[in-house]
């Protein structure tokens, strides 16, 4: 089996209007791993009985889960490896539920001095409703990189079932 390879795009290769996308479906395992990693064990993410009495009526993803998908695009695609993340503004417009398919789109909206880029960041669900949106500022790499992607194994295994939620 051949491992995946990551390629970046240098600042000089970047153009206003250039985009990259990522599609990811939220699973219970994503919520559990995000809670484990972040320490955010808010019952809105883990306890179905609690969540059904909230405005969302069911467990939802951590808001920063969609923010982390934006980071994924920036660090692996546009500009990719070698990118330095400087700033991010986000607005969370809708909840993300288990099973929702989120499409992340990152678009270059401004090229600045010193290899800096401003990017529009948008996450939409399968109904094309914006769930998260904002802007990011990064320093784009000046040198071309091609690097083997690491193979990750999960430190926590969670069975994909409703029994993972109280």
**What domains are there in the chain, each with its CATH number?**
8-145 (3.10.129.10)
Give the pLDDT of residue 88.
97
Residue segments in the chain with a per-residue pLDDT below the cut of 70: 1-3, 154-166
CA atoms within 13 A on the CB side of 90: 21
Distances in Å between the Cα of 23 and the Cα atoms of 70, 96, 104, 126 are 11, 14, 6, 10
Give the pLDDT of residue 153.
77
pTM exceeds cut of 0.85: yes
Give the pLDDT of residue 152.
80
Give the pLDDT of residue 139.
98
Give the pLDDT of residue 159.
52
Whether 62 and 39 have beta carbons less than 8 Å apart is answered as no
The per-type count for the chain, helices as H runs and strands as E runs, is: 4, 7
Give the pLDDT of residue 62.
95
Whether 123 and 69 have beta carbons less than 8 Å apart is answered as yes
Give the pLDDT of residue 156.
54
């Amino acid at each position: 089996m051949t491992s995946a390879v990551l390629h970046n795009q240098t600042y000089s290769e970047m153009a206003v209007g250039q985009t990259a996308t990522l599609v990811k479906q939220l699973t219970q395992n994503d919520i559990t791993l995000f809670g484990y990693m972040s320490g955010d064990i808010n019952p809105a993410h883990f306890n179905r009985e609690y969540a059904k009495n909230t405005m969302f009526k069911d467990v939802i993803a951590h808001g920063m889960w969609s923010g982390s998908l934006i980071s994924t695009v920036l660090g692996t695609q546009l500009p990719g490896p070698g990118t330095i993340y400087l700033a991010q503004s986000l607005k969370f417009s809708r909840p993300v539920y288990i099973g929702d398919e989120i499409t992340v789109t990152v678009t270059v909206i401004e090229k600045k001095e010193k290899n800096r880029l401003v990017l529009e960041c948008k996450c939409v669900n399968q109904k094309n409703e914006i769930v998260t949106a904002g802007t990011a500022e990064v320093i784009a790499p000046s040198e071309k990189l091609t690097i083997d992607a690491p193979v990750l194994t999960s430190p926590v295994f969670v069975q994909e079932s409703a029994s993972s939620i109280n």
